[in-house]
A and B are shown apart, each in its own frame.
Chain A
Amino acid sequence: MSEALLSIDDLHVAFSTRRGMVEAVRGVTLTVEKGEMLGLVGESGSGKSVTGFATTRLLDAAGRVTGGKILFRGQDVTKLRGDDLRQLQGAAMSMIFQNPRAALNPIRAIGLQIADAILTHKRISKEAARGEALDLLRAVQIREPEARMNAYPHELSGGMCQRVMIAIAISCNPALLIADEPTTGLDVTTQKVVMDLLADIAAARGMATILITHDLGLAARYCRRIAVMERGRIVEEASPRSLFSAPQHAYTRRLVAASPTATSRIEDLVTEEDRERYATVVSKPRAELVHGTPPLLEVRKLAKRFDQGSAAVADFSMTMAGGESVGLVGESGSGKSTTSRMICRLIDPSEGDIVFDGHSIGYVASRDFHRSRLRKDIQMVFQDPNESLNPRFTAFDCIAHPLLRLGGMRAGEALRERVEECAVRVGLPLDLLPRFPHQLSGGQKARVGIARAIACRPRLLVLDEPTAALDVSVQAVVLQLLDRLRRENDIALLFVSHDLNVVRMLCDRTIVLRNGGIVEQGESRALFDNPKTDYTRKLVEAIPHIETGEMLAAAL
């Protein structure tokens, strides 16, 4: 066997925390061949990013390699010091990160940031470095590269920022590129463009790549070999085809099941053993809508213009019945979040009206709406459970707060009972109630957010990307929870998301937004199976599905 470019041998990484040393990576062994793209897949906390950071020597001060070797071109990376290390970083080995906008210095022109990397490793003049930076911007297909050289990160879109990051990473022609969740948080269409670009560049330059991702579909689309990590260990390593058709390890099976495919339903998202309990819920028939019942929510010709510039949302109309679920999809900037916030009455519409249960609420100023008795009927679940919970409130306080403010309850036994009832409803263990957000996992925080929203028994729940920050297995559980709330408590759901797979599963109807206007709407399955407009088709095609059917056919 010829010598591999990178071979990691029994790597152990530990972090020192207040509660002592915690092992994040526990014996990872891995090889990467020249020019190969390897997928490293796992959920948060599996140690996949830590493995990447250990390889590029970018671990936090608290993290330390406690055992094993990382051989890069035969040299042990873990033992490098000073200049030897700097010659490696950014030159022979480079890295791109999740959240590209945060990964770029906000107050330094992007041209300079690319030139920084070049000047660190090559003895050339500043003008020559600038010229190279310009060429790199062309290579990552940024339009008008000359003008963009002086742009700052906040003037660019997320996709553009990630292209700049790629330009920085490839500036010194590295032999190995580690991409840590490079497209998480980007729109599906942008995600595809960025990944295609990355794959093309890697192929053209003969660069080996490790793609670290939680998205099995993404890894399957771009990698020939996938390693699955769980709790600091590699549990399975295989080609995408055999991984999906015949997953060996129990964890891989769970992960594969939880990853939505083009045809999966919510009840499919767990492995067969866990399916029973949920199936009984789904099989219960829903109460038929009585014909002629007035709609729960009616939105008429809603428009929003911010201070200057064109309308963020224009001429948006929709209706929703009680207990119905409607998806609102579109790329970032399409106006879906603005629309949902107007319906929640968190911001004021410029034009149009919102009628909820026969009451016009569009004209109530958003800052006065908290006094309306309808406030408790319309509640919201926010995108990032980490950011949307007050860090100084315990889980109990979070859930109790709306009950005190809107539910007219006083501190006491009744309040405690209601909070516990909500916690049980969302599957949050009661012993977690006295904890603060930082002591809870992502999935637990998401549950607190949902429990808070349902505490006052709302009739409409507006959810803004509620699963975007969650792992697939947690996402599956949260989706099932939301579906149960809708079926059993008759709560209508307005679901804002860029993840079309999720919308297709959860929502009866879907509305596609683009540039603040409705492009297409209809019954979800029909809309996704047979999109009528090019825009919707593009969105649907960009989803990195795991093509299980096709894979199985090929495997047979």
Chain B
Amino acid sequence: MLSYILRRIVATLPVMAIVALFVFSLLYIAPGDPAVVIAGDQASPEDVERIRQSLGLDRPFLVQFGGWVWRILHGDLGTSIFTNLPVSAMIGQRLGPTLSLMIVTLLLTIVVAVPLGVVAAWKAGSLIDRVIMGFAVFGFSLPVFVVGYILAYIFALELEWLPVQGYTPLTQGFWPWLENLILPAIALGCVYIALVARITRAAMLEVLQQDYIRTARAKGLGQGGILFIHALKNAAVPIVTVIGIGIALLIGGAVVTESVFAIPGLGRLTIDAILRRDYPVIQGIVLLFSFVYVLVNLMIDVIYTLVDPRIRY
């Protein structure tokens, strides 16, 4: 198992290299000369030239790329053109809120969506099934910001149960931290819950038709044992896959959600960086998200082997 994980980590290196090359090329693909942008509207051509030289933008592409990779490997993601702060420090500051939001959303999704899907499959065709699936369609069709504002209006402004917006770090207590994340997590999780519930239902329906479920019934097993011991684990592979893919969805959704709820996370940083054409920051964030995604994929593959003894590498 350990050697398998090691081999998979090695196998991700080329992927990361291609991602890095792509991220670095952003600077050249995107329209506009970064030196001109940084220098601002009133700069003279000499100023622009000076900035270009100081950033090394005048050197050949491969030399620039080599130097960039070398610095990243040493933990240096460069310096923000706009704030002059190190990119790694800027990302570090914003990582906590985004990570918190994603983890809470992920847990909420699994806890809500999987049981909903199981129940829908068990009672397929019944009223409960239709209500759950109706909710899923609803959750699917509403954009994150609409759900976000509606939730904020009802639960924060009218009922005053939860804060309207903002973020409190975990170091200041568990409840204050969670309190601020509940509404954003529900808003962000809506689509995700709908997706996972649907997939869970479909996977369970397929498994519940299998012969070994009939065997389990023939043995006299109770409904709970059949659904959760025999069926759900067999349905796990597609469910785990979709939960994993959904993490990419979360990254995109986090950008919008953080704007709605004024959470000082990576999403906000990304928008700001794009608007300012702060290339080092954009590169750093994209690289980080790619890395997270590759890591999540690796974890999914490892979970496959734990769930299904027939999968061997």
Which of B211, B215, B230 neighbours the largest number of chain A CB atoms within 10 Å of its CB?
Answer: B215
Q: Is the CB of A105 within 8 A of B221?
A: no
By a CB distance below 8 angstroms, the chain B residues around A95 are 218
A residues neighboring B (CB under 8 Å) = 56, 58, 86-91, 94-95, 97, 99, 102-108, 116-117, 120-121, 152, 154, 165, 168-169
Contact of B218 among A89, A108, A121, A154 (CB under 8 A): A89
Bound-state Cα–Cα, A87 to B220, Å:
7
Contact of B212 among A94, A105, A121 (CB under 8 A): A105
By a CB distance below 8 angstroms, the chain B residues around A154 are 309-310
Contact of B234 among A94, A107, A169 (CB under 8 A): A107
Which of A56, A97, A105, A169 neighbours the largest number of chain B CB atoms within 10 Å of its CB?
Answer: A105
Q: Is the CB of A88 within 8 A of B218?
A: no
B307 part of interface (Cβ distance < 8 Å) = yes
Q: For residue A154, give the distance in angstroms from its CB to the closest CB of chain B.
A: 5
Nearest opposing residue in chain B for A85, CB measure: B220
Contact digits for B276-313, partner A, Cβ 8 Å, 1 yes 0 no: 00000000000000000000000000000001111000
Among all A-B residue pairs, the 10 with the closest Cβ atoms: A90-B220, A89-B220, A90-B219, A102-B211, A117-B219, A103-B211, A105-B212, A86-B220, A95-B218, A103-B215
By a CB distance below 8 angstroms, the chain A residues around B218 are 56, 58, 89-90, 94-95, 97, 169
Contact of B217 among A89, A102, A106, A108 (CB under 8 A): A89
B214 part of interface (Cβ distance < 8 Å) = yes
B residues neighboring A (CB under 8 Å) = 210-212, 214-222, 225, 229-230, 233-234, 307-310
Q: Show 14 A/B contacts (Cβ-Cβ < 8 Å), sorted by A.
A: A86-B221, A89-B217, A90-B220, A97-B218, A102-B211, A104-B215, A105-B230, A106-B212, A106-B308, A116-B221, A117-B221, A120-B222, A152-B310, A169-B218
Bound-state Cα–Cα, A108 to B234, Å:
9
Q: For residue A27, give the distance in angstroms from its CB to the closest CB of chain B.
A: 25
Bound-state Cα–Cα, A106 to B210, Å:
11
Nearest opposing residue in chain B for A93, CB measure: B218
From known contacts A86-B220, A120-B219, infer whether A58 and B310 are also in contact, taking CB-CB under 8 Å: no
By a CB distance below 8 angstroms, the chain B residues around A104 are 212, 215
Contact of A120 among B220, B230, B233, B308 (CB under 8 A): B220
By a CB distance below 8 angstroms, the chain B residues around A87 are 220
By a CB distance below 8 angstroms, the chain A residues around B210 are 102
Q: Is the CB of A108 within 8 A of B230?
A: yes
Q: For residue B146, give the distance in angstroms from its CB to the closest CB of chain A.
A: 38
From known contacts A152-B309, A154-B310, infer whether A103 and B220 are also in contact, taking CB-CB under 8 Å: no
Nearest opposing residue in chain B for A114, CB measure: B219
Q: For residue B121, give the distance in angstroms from its CB to the closest CB of chain A.
A: 12
Q: Is the CB of A88 within 8 A of B308?
A: no
By a CB distance below 8 angstroms, the chain A residues around B310 are 106-107, 152, 154
Bound-state Cα–Cα, A152 to B307, Å:
13
Q: Is the CB of A107 within 8 A of B220?
A: no
Q: For residue A156, give the distance in angstroms from its CB to the closest CB of chain B.
A: 13
By a CB distance below 8 angstroms, the chain B residues around A97 are 211, 214-215, 218
Nearest opposing residue in chain B for A91, CB measure: B220
Bound-state Cα–Cα, A107 to B304, Å:
11
Q: Is the CB of A88 within 8 A of B219?
A: no
Nearest opposing residue in chain A for B233, CB measure: A107
Nearest opposing residue in chain B for A100, CB measure: B211
From known contacts A99-B211, A152-B309, A154-B310, infer whether A105 and B219 are also in contact, taking CB-CB under 8 Å: no
Contact of A103 among B212, B221, B229, B234 (CB under 8 A): B212
Bound-state Cα–Cα, A103 to B215, Å:
6
Bound-state Cα–Cα, A102 to B218, Å:
14
From known contacts A107-B234, A107-B307, A154-B310, infer whether A88 and B211 are also in contact, taking CB-CB under 8 Å: no
Bound-state Cα–Cα, A195 to B66, Å:
71
Q: For residue A83, give the distance in angstroms from its CB to the closest CB of chain B.
A: 9
Q: Is the CB of B214 within 8 A of A121?
A: no
Nearest opposing residue in chain A for B310, CB measure: A154
Nearest opposing residue in chain B for A108, CB measure: B230
By a CB distance below 8 angstroms, the chain B residues around A116 are 216, 219, 221, 225, 229
Q: For residue A101, give the distance in angstroms from its CB to the closest CB of chain B.
A: 9
Bound-state Cα–Cα, A99 to B212, Å:
10
Bound-state Cα–Cα, A97 to B214, Å:
9
Bound-state Cα–Cα, A363 to B193, Å:
54
Bound-state Cα–Cα, A80 to B216, Å:
18
Q: For residue B36, give the distance in angstroms from its CB to the closest CB of chain A.
A: 55
Q: Is the CB of B215 within 8 A of A107?
A: no
By a CB distance below 8 angstroms, the chain A residues around B233 are 107-108
By a CB distance below 8 angstroms, the chain B residues around A94 are 218-219
Q: Is the CB of A89 within 8 A of B211?
A: no
Bound-state Cα–Cα, A86 to B307, Å:
29
From known contacts A107-B234, A107-B308, A107-B310, infer whether A102 and B220 are also in contact, taking CB-CB under 8 Å: no
Q: Is the CB of A58 within 8 A of B214?
A: yes
Q: For residue B228, give the distance in angstroms from its CB to the closest CB of chain A.
A: 12
Q: Is the CB of A106 within 8 A of B220?
A: no
By a CB distance below 8 angstroms, the chain A residues around B308 are 106-107
Q: Is the CB of A58 within 8 A of B217?
A: yes
Bound-state Cα–Cα, A512 to B247, Å:
56
Which of B219, B233, B308, B309 neighbours the largest number of chain A CB atoms within 10 Å of its CB?
Answer: B219
Nearest opposing residue in chain A for B218, CB measure: A95
Q: For residue A357, give the distance in angstroms from its CB to the closest CB of chain B.
A: 43
Bound-state Cα–Cα, A104 to B215, Å:
7
Bound-state Cα–Cα, A116 to B220, Å:
9
Bound-state Cα–Cα, A91 to B214, Å:
15
